[in-house]
Amino acid sequence: MPAVSESPPARHSELRHDWSRAQVRALFDLPFPELLHRAASVHRVHFDPAQVQVSTLLSVKTGGCPEDCGYCPQAARYHTGVEASKLMSTEAVLEKARQAKAAGASRFCMGAAWRSPKDRDIPKVAMMIAEVKALGLETCATLGMLSGDQAKALKSAGLDYYNHNLDTAPEFYNQVIHTREMQDRLDTLGHVRDVGMKTCCGGIVGMGESREQRAGLLQALANLPAHPDSVPINRLVQVEGTPLAGTEPLDPFEFVRTVAVARLLMPQSMVRLSAGRESMSDELQALCFLAGANSIFYGEKLLTTGNPDTERDMALFARLGLRPMQLVEQSLQAGGTTVHADILEDTGTDAAPRSCAVLRDDRAAVSSAQA
């Protein structure tokens, strides 16, 4: 059996940022029941395994992106049928935010298909953030690369979280994206951390990468200066017209392994099932929860009462005895290192799903989730 630590860490044990590739790969290579046992054990040290956070996203500016991310239907260069739209008005965003709040959301996430915001966009986005915040919601955004000054301006406007994914392993990156470098992403994450915003950062699997490269993605995430507060694990949604359409689908058990290793490497982070979840069976999702996933991504469902997809999710929660979390922001001290985590309070089984709002154009929501 591969030589990895046998015992789960204590609650306030030091979080590691020095994982070697061999150590991460050894976790991936564990027998499946052993890996799940370890991940589930670590999950229980830090979280109530019966609670699952529900996150959603509103696309405030869809399509027309100049980047060439090989999975993304919002890239202008691919013919995917996604129409480019302008930045939504603040009032239109606020209307969605009010609906989200009425549906029980505590956080509202806004995504824009930009390489990076132009400086002239920042005041508009800052106003949206400030107004959404004034409704009493937490705020989250994914807008592409940020400069230090842009990060500062968004933080001043009241932005709590910033999503920016690494996408894949450093050595596989250039097979997926050519219009910006991994270092650009790391720089943006650095700017976000520097101004005190929390990070949401993960990647996509099933893009044709090897297990070694999946290990490389998780190694890169875990070895960031601070573990991301949320780690979205996306399973590629293949969209006709994108370069990655037709990729050999990932073995579902390999997806579960990825979730489990993410949980082991980043024990206090929210591990989120994001894009690709809708095509997963209930059984696969249940295995992911067992492996330490404790957050799910919704499409526009939260804004649509009686939505059959929402009902399917809530029925799955009921069948598995899971409860939606209410989001309570809290910082944890871990071995002298401050990490920010979504620690969620149990509000009972009648609580509505908590968190953001959404957009249910699948292609835009999927790419925003994957971005």
131 φ/ψ angles, rounded to the nearest 5 degrees: -70, -40
Task: Give the count of beta carbons closer than 10 Å to the beta carbon of residue 46.
Answer: 22
Specify binding-site residues for [2Fe-2S] cluster. 109, 140, 200, 272
3-state secondary structure of 203: strand
Q: How far is CA 164 from CA 34, 71, 119, 142, 144, in A?
A: 32, 15, 18, 6, 7
- CA dist., res. 139 & res. 297, Å (int): 16
- CA dist., res. 276 & res. 50, Å (int): 22
Nearer to ligand SF4, 67 or 342 (CB): 67
Nearer to ligand SF4, 242 or 326 (CB): 242
Task: Give the count of beta carbons closer than 10 Å to the beta carbon of residue 85.
Answer: 15
356 is catalytic: no
Of the listed 25, 38, 107, 109, which one is catalytic? Answer: 109
The distance of closest approach from Cβ of residue 113 to ligand SF4 in the complex, given in angstroms and rounded to an integer, is 4
Q: Which residue type occupies 330?
A: Q
Nearer to ligand SF4, 23 or 367 (CB): 367
The distance of closest approach from Cβ of residue 198 to ligand SF4 in the complex, given in angstroms and rounded to an integer, is 20
Specify binding-site residues. 65, 69, 72, 109, 140, 200, 272
Of the listed 38, 214, 235, 272, which one is catalytic? Answer: 272
**261 with 292: CB under 8 angstroms?**
no
- CA dist., res. 172 & res. 238, Å (int): 18
Specify binding-site residues for [4Fe-4S] cluster. 65, 69, 72
The distance of closest approach from Cβ of residue 65 to ligand SF4 in the complex, given in angstroms and rounded to an integer, is 3
Of the listed 69, 201, 288, 356, which one is catalytic? Answer: 69
The distance of closest approach from Cβ of residue 69 to ligand SF4 in the complex, given in angstroms and rounded to an integer, is 3
201 is catalytic: no
Of the listed 25, 38, 107, 140, which one is catalytic? Answer: 140
Q: Which residues bind ligand SF4 (CB under 6 A)?
A: 65, 67, 69, 72, 74-75, 113, 115, 144, 367, 371
Of the listed 38, 65, 201, 235, which one is catalytic? Answer: 65
Q: Which residue carries 């024990």 as its tokens?
A: 267
Strands (E), the chain: 51-55, 58-61, 107-112, 138-142, 161-163, 198-200, 203-205, 230-235, 270-273, 295-297, 323-324, 326-334, 337-345
Nearer to ligand SF4, 74 or 285 (CB): 74
Nearer to ligand SF4, 37 or 115 (CB): 115
The distance of closest approach from Cβ of residue 244 to ligand SF4 in the complex, given in angstroms and rounded to an integer, is 12
Please name the residues in contact with 238: beta carbons below 8 A apart, sequence gap of 6 or more: 244, 245, 246, 247, 249
Nearer to ligand SF4, 256 or 359 (CB): 359
The distance of closest approach from Cβ of residue 346 to ligand SF4 in the complex, given in angstroms and rounded to an integer, is 35
**114 with 371: CB under 8 angstroms?**
no
- CA dist., res. 184 & res. 288, Å (int): 31
288 is catalytic: no
Which residues are marked as active site? 65, 69, 72, 109, 140, 200, 272
